[in-house]
Amino acid sequence: DELLNKMLLDPYFAKKAPKSTGLHYFDQRWLNRKLQHIRNRTHKINIQATLIELTARTITNNIPKFCKSVYVCGGGAKNSYLIERLNHNSHSKIYSSDIIGWDPQTIESACFAWLAFKTLNNEKHDLKLITGSKNPVKLGNITFY
């Protein structure tokens, strides 16, 4: 697929882990740039499917070879097409965390509660091994109006 190949050529995907990006890298402008030189007009449904395939491939490309099983939590765990594409592209078996009795939404909300607690206590975290950051960072900000 021309669009998927164009997306996968983005330099971000060639970077070695650990890596991270902010909210403004993969945005509507990024997508529009990728669509700009596509020969055939692409239907919105196909664009959505391509974005899911991009997500599945970039996730599975980074699952260590020794992992036999991977459990997905959060909103993505409820996306059956994403889970299907993850399984199609992975050497590991991909499951929603609910299969082992861990509600995907509970895990995600517990994570955000933990992050809020850490932020309220002004704790910084060393994310060198996760994002490659050089210094410890706060994992959030709380703004009062």
Provide the CATH number for the domain around residue 92.
3.30.420.40
In 3D, which of 12, 14, 13, 17 has the Cα closest to residue 131?
A: 17
Counting residues of the chain whose pLDDT is more than 90, the rounded percentage is 59
Predicted local distance difference test score (pLDDT) of residue 131: 77
Answer whether the bond into residue 18 is a cis peptide, omega within 30°.
yes
- Residue range 119-145: mean pLDDT, rounded: 83
- Residue range 112-117: mean pLDDT, rounded: 89
**Residue 56 counted as domain residue:** yes
- Residue range 105-113: mean pLDDT, rounded: 91
For residue 84, name the pLDDT band (cuts at 50, 70, 90). Answer: very high
Range(s) of the domain holding residue 99? 2-138
Residue 21's region, left for phi above 0, alpha for psi from -120 to 50, else beta, is beta
- Residue range 7-36: mean pLDDT, rounded: 89
**Residue 95 counted as domain residue:** yes
**Structure confidence by residue, pLDDT tens digits, 32-67:** 999 987 877 778 889 999 999 999 999 999 898 899
**Residue 145 counted as domain residue:** no
- Residue range 25-29: mean pLDDT, rounded: 92
**Residue 64 counted as domain residue:** yes
